[in-house]
């Protein structure tokens, strides 16, 4: 169970996330939606502790992870795996090494720094790559891969962290429609197959409705919607996006992102 209590993050006087509270039971696939600038990324980054909360707490299975430091902090980061819009792979390292980065919190530092990866960890990394059909790319440099392939490598890295929760920050915003589907399906599969909680920032409402079993809507740093997708009526959705548009952009209309053609789930998700 992930519990967020009154979480706030200020940059100067501006609150990027403002008193957010929610709790997420294990195994859920939760979408965080809202306009650009609503505070979605900051929220996820605080949970992984890449961003420092100004106030509020994050509890995981009753433990306050906002207070962790040093080795315990790094182990929490491994347990709350992050997936980024820009993949954040190391371009000049090969794919296998990039995936092995997900083992850093577990392996003794002298071994990882000398790149003496234990056999078992290599095997774990290769099997993760195999699951996303990119085992054959293991020896390639990450920056020579397509965007869709890079994001799958990033998901493999997240998976070998053996996380309890995956935090995906707009994982498909840099991808074309076909790869969007591949990556979202991969996340869904991890969620259903391994029971790993997924918390996923999404720009597209259609994707959010298709994949998530719960949506958290954010506007101007505050949580303004938290329910199953069916409850997100067009009216609320428009409010969610327009409310802030009026605030920030002086009334200029903001379009809900264009439809991405995502066929109904089934084969791919169950595979």
Partner 1 sequence: MTKRSMLETDGLRARYPDVFNRPVSSRLAWPSMLAGALAIFVFGLIHLGFSPIRMLNGIHQLGWISLMMLPPNPGASLPLYLRALGETLSIALLGTTLAAVFAFPVSLLAAKNIVPSNFFRFPIRRFLDTIRGVDTLIWALVWINVVGLGPFAGVLAIALSDFGALGKLFSEAIEGADRKQVEGIRASGGNALHEIRFGLMPQVFPVIAGQMLYFFESNTRSATIIGIVGAGGIGLQLAEQIRVLEWQKVSFLILMILIAVAMIDWISGKLRFAIIGPRAVA
The interface partner of residue 74, options being partner 1, Mg ion, ligand ADP, none and the CB cut-off 5 to 8 Å by kind, is partner 1
The interface partner of residue 42, options being ligand ADP, Mg ion, partner 1, none and the CB cut-off 5 to 8 Å by kind, is ligand ADP
Which residue, among 8, 10, 5, has the nearest Cα to 24 in the 3D structure? 5
- Of 90, 123, 249, 270, the one binding partner 1 (CB under 8 A) is 90
Least Å distance, CB 4 to ligand ADP, is: 14
- Residue 3 to residues 65, 69, 90, 99: CA-CA distances in angstroms? 10, 19, 32, 29
82 binds partner 1 (CB under 8 A): yes
Give the residue with the Cβ less far from ligand ADP, 11 or 194: 11
Footprint of ligand ADP on 43-102 (CB under 6 A): none
What residues contact residue 214 under an 8 Å CB cut-off, 6+ apart? 24, 28, 29, 30, 31, 226, 227, 228, 229
Footprint of Mg ion on 54-93 (CB under 5 A): none
Footprint of partner 1 on 105-164 (CB under 8 A): 105, 109, 112-113, 141, 143-144, 154, 157-158, 161
Rg (CA), the chain: 19
- Residue 238 to residues 41, 111, 219, 234, 245: CA-CA distances in angstroms? 21, 52, 12, 6, 10
11 binds ligand ADP (CB under 6 A): yes
3-class SS of residue 93: coil
97 binds partner 1 (CB under 8 A): yes
């Amino acid at each position: 169970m992930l519990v967020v209590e009154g979480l706030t993050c200020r940059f100067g006087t501006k609150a990027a996330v403002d008193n957010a509270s929610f709790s997420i039971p294990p195994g859920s696939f939760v979408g965080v939606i809202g306009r650009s600038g609503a505070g979605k990324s900051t929220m996820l980054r605080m949970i992984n502790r890449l961003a420092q909360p100004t106030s509020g707490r994050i509890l995981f299975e009753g433990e306050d992870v906002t207070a962790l430091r040093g080795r315990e902090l790094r182990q929490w980061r491994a347990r709350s795996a992050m997936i980024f819009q820009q993949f954040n792979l190391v371009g000049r390292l090969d794919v296998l090494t990039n995936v092995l980065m997900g083992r850093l919190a577990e392996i003794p530092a002298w071994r990882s720094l000398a790149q003496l990866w234990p056999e078992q960890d290599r095997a774990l990394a290769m099997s993760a790559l195999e699951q996303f059909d990119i085992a054959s790319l293991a020896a390639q440099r990450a920056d020579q891969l397509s965007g869709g392939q890079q994001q799958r490598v990033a998901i493999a890295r997240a998976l070998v962290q053996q996380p309890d929760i995956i935090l995906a920050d707009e994982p498909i915003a840099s991808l074309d429609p076909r790869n969007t589907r591949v990556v979202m399906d991969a996340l869904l599969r991890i969620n259903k197959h391994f029971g790993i909680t997924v918390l996923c920032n999404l720009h597209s409402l259609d994707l959010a409705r298709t994949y998530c079993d719960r949506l958290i809507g954010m506007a101007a740093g505050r949580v303004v919607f938290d329910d199953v997708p069916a409850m997100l009526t067009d009216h609320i959705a428009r409010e969610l996006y327009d409310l802030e548009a009026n605030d920030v952009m002086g009334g200029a209309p903001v379009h809900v992102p264009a439809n991405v053609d995502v066929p109904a789930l089934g084969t791919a998700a169950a595979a």
